């Protein structure tokens, strides 16, 4: 069984590859911009790159890129692919997901795969713990983190747990063909995440609460307006409201999901000046 790992430069794929190698599972890395020997060119938005990447492949670890998903599905079926594990998002579970910039692409990919003959496994993580790296530049410069909803809750999940979950379903097809809502072990507000990060770093991490419109104007230029609006709506809905926590990580990996404190310790150097 040969596995194609798309998005080879992504954090989950980087964690998945050594797990496959340790199990002796044949695999092929694919990237939109190959930068290492043995990595093939596969731009999920460019159907001309699909045939070469999929030749001889039986399973695929797929990132959610919707622009050419129908062509990818058709090529995968023609190539004899049997199983696709898609890294989707729990945002697809929300009402109005098809109209949300946060969820629409993930939902479109899920629907295309589920409508195909491919055996499909849906990995739906909540908040990536590594989203906290967006605070690193401010912390290293001594500036407070500016948050429109510091009390908004998330379920930060360690990328290593996502890689292990993907490895488990790729290695055992009996685990496939279903959806897994993957979360960290705790529902944490942004303010609590910053407090945990401060404990790990040995120094308090300051933050400021700012009005939503002010935050939106500050991120204009690198977060598109509709996406910023969707984020604000999502954070407002979670303000002061703990989110659902699942045991899906433990069921797939055999161990409890790693805590945000563990993630912070693993990435502490990224926040230090």
Using a pLDDT cut of 90, give the percent of the chain over it. Answer: 93
Task: Tell me the mean pLDDT in the region 17-38.
Answer: 92
| pLDDT(230) > 70 | yes
**Looking at the chain, how many residues does it have?**
273
Domain presence at residue 218: yes
CATH number of the domain that 271 lies in? 3.40.50.720
| pLDDT tens, residue by residue, 248-265 | 999 999 999 999 999 999
Whether residue 139 sits in one domain with residue 119 = no
Give residue 150's pLDDT.
98
13 within 8 A of 61, measured Cβ to Cβ: yes
Instruction: Measure the CA–CA gap between 128 and 2, rounded to whole angstroms.
Output: 28
Q: How many domains does the chain have?
A: 2
| pLDDT tens, residue by residue, 127-160 | 999 999 999 999 999 899 999 999 999 999 999 9
Strand 40-41 and strand 27-31: the pairing is parallel
Whether residue 189 sits in one domain with residue 199 = yes
Give residue 173's pLDDT.
82
Query: Among the three residues 104, 125, 146, which one is the final residue of a domain in this structure?
Result: 125
Domain presence at residue 166: no
Domain presence at residue 169: no
Whether residue 211 sits in one domain with residue 145 = yes
Q: What are the distances in angstroms from CA 201 to CA 6, 103, 198, 261, 267?
A: 34, 33, 5, 11, 10
Task: Tell me the mean pLDDT in the region 102-115.
Answer: 97
Whether residue 115 sits in one domain with residue 95 = yes
- Averaged pLDDT of the chain: 95
Whether residue 120 sits in one domain with residue 131 = no
Whether residue 234 sits in one domain with residue 133 = yes
Whether residue 94 sits in one domain with residue 51 = yes
Whether residue 61 sits in one domain with residue 149 = no
| pLDDT(212) > 90 | yes
Give residue 1's pLDDT.
59
| pLDDT(201) > 80 | yes
Query: Among the three residues 125, 147, 175, which one is the final residue of a domain in this structure?
Result: 125
Domain presence at residue 178: no
Task: Tell me the mean pLDDT in the region 44-71.
Answer: 96
Whether residue 79 sits in one domain with residue 213 = no
The distance in angstroms from the start CA to the end CA of the chain is 45
Strand 3-5 and strand 188-189: the pairing is unpaired
Domain presence at residue 26: yes
Whether residue 138 sits in one domain with residue 118 = no
Query: Among the three residues 107, 125, 143, which one is the final residue of a domain in this structure?
Result: 125
Whether residue 85 sits in one domain with residue 70 = yes
Residue 21: domain span: 3-125
Task: Tell me the mean pLDDT in the region 205-218.
Answer: 96
Whether residue 138 sits in one domain with residue 55 = no
């Amino acid at each position: 069984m040969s596995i194609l790992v798309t998005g080879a430069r992504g954090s989950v794929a980087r964690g998945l590859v050594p797990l496959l190698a340790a199990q002796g599972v044949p695999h092929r890395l694919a990237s939109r911009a190959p930068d290492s020997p043995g990595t093939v060119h596969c731009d999920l938005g460019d159907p001309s790159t699909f045939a070469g990447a999929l030749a001889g492949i039986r399973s695929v670890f797929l990132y959610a890129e919707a622009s050419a998903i129908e062509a990818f599905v058709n090529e995968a079926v023609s190539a004899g692919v049997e199983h696709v594990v898609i890294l989707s998002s729990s945002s697809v579970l929300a009402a109005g997901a098809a109209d949300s910039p946060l969820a629409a692409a993930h939902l479109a990919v899920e629907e295309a795969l589920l409508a195909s003959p491919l055996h499909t496994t849906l990995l739906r993580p909540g908040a990536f713990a590594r989203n906290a790296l967006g605070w690193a530049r401010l912390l290293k410069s001594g500036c407070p983190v500016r948050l429109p909803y510091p009390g908004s809750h998330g379920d930060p999940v360690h990328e290593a747990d996502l890689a292990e979950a993907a490895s488990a379903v790729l290695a055992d097809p009996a685990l496939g063909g279903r959806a897994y809502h993957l979360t960290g072990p705790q529902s944490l507000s942004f303010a609590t995440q910053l407090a945990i990060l401060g404990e790990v770093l040995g120094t308090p991490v300051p933050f400021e609460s700012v009005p939503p419109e002010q935050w939106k104007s500050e991120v204009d230029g690198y977060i598109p307006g509709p996406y910023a609006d969707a984020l604000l709506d999502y954070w407002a809905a979670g303000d002061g409201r703990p989110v659902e926590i699942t045991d899906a990580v433990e069921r797939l990996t055999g161990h409890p999901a790693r805590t945000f404190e563990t993630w912070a310790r693993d990435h502490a150097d990224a926040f230090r000046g």
